[in-house]
Structure 1
């Protein structure tokens, strides 16, 4: 290990002092969980330890990518995030056939379209320092919304099978027969994103804005960035959510336009 690498390790270890000290707050949560007999002590410790490790590794990865300034690394990092997000969203909607692939494709389309528009309008330069963090925020929100949309759509169709079958018997197409269930799943999935946009700055100061202010940026500059972030989150989440309904609803029906009962019988 040369001198420069040793110096980087020293700076890293010094910088991790405060995050390590912050685990004192975790100790309070663990103690309270033990007192209340929640049984969440191990999960709390595991979750924070995993986050600690993942973020530490990501820090080194980003240092490497930022130093290369190569578009290929941006694409690879973005695709990795989409794959992980698709898998996670698919796990939430695990009873939807091919859920992981549907979620991944929906997230890819929604976030790529949004990022393409932002780059074309010169809102963000196409550099790792901007694109990777921004993509991470979009992919994370799209992941949550897509997973909820698919899961809720299946649950509503399962509960309202008789209503859907009646519509099909009267000559409606599968899409027409499920329009209300699709609409309901989209509204439920997107509501938290929209509620967050309504209350931003009044109840909470979001991460991007807070980070800039703590780094010393002027508050107005931080606010301008946060406005851009809120717009892109709503846009990417909406496209991804709608895309997931178009991709997953055919799996709920047979080729004869009848409900696929095997999909709904899984518990």
Structure 2
């Protein structure tokens, strides 16, 4: 079964963008330029990535595969660090957290035989893991900012009573990790009932038996839970010290 997606059908599908543009214009949302820019940017990026992936899949080189996965992690870390203004070395901390969650999860999948170390599997899986870790880490950073600001007085009282910075921040760390993991957990609760995720839908569109597609989606659910938990924990515990100075005083 082949999807009947050609240039003409894509052109007509692009008319759906007019719906968003119409709503933005009618409701005076101010998104018109952003929508147009994002659509053109998405098209250019996807076309370029398509040609790059075609080359990588054809060459099937391990070094190029790892390099592409590394590029994905770097870009994810760069975007994650933008979620907080108070974290020192945000890129490095995000890179460590996303890199660890991606490498550990992929390592388990490869060693278990769930996937093979080939570009057509490693690169897409790396993108899925890194992007979900990026979102989770971004939520953790925002939560840290908000909670340290809102609970400043309580933290100062704990510090004045002799608590170290980890103990004084423990409730904030736990809440931030929960915030980062919650979307993935909520998604796992409703998968198959409320939503049919992209990977599963794509396989079904491609003609794969739904039962086999479901097995792949179960694997994806497991790996995303692993990745977001690793990423959230690492990012939170690496980042919270940025809210204190060398004298262990709260700086926010």
Q: What TM-score, normalized by structure 1, do the two folds share?
A: 0.90
* Equivalent residue, structure 2, for 1:124: 115
Structure 1 residue aligned with 2:173, among 182, 198, 206?
182
Which runs of no fewer than 5 residues in structure 2 stay unpaired?
none
Computed over aligned residues only, the root mean square deviation of the Cα atoms, in angstroms, reads 1.2
Determine the structure 1 residue equivalent to 2:36. 45
Q: Which has the higher contact order (CA 8 A, sep 6+)?
A: 2
Q: Does 1:15 align with 2:6?
A: yes
What is the match of residue 93 of structure 1?
A: 84
CA distance in 1, matches of 2:179, 2:90: 19
1:231 aligned onto 2:222: yes
Q: Cα deviations across residues 135-164 of structure 1 (Å, max 9, x unaligned)?
A: 110001000000110121122012111111
Separation in 1, partners of 2:61, 2:6: 27
Structure 1 stretches of 4+ moved >4 Å: none
Is 1:141 equivalent to 2:156 in the alignment? no
What is the deviation of 1:18?
A: 2.5
Aligned residue number for residue 26 of structure 2 = 35
Figure out how many residues of one structure are paired with residues of the other and give that number: 248
Q: Secondary structure at the match of 2:106?
A: helix
1:8 corresponds in structure 2 to none
Worse overlay, 28-37 or 220-229: 28-37
Counterpart of 1:201 (choices 185, 192, 208) is: 192
Q: Measure how far apart 1:99 and its partner are.
A: 1.5
Structure 2 match to 1:5:
none
The CA deviation at 1:19 is 2.5
The separation in 2 between residues aligned to 1:68 and 1:82, in whole angstroms, is: 22
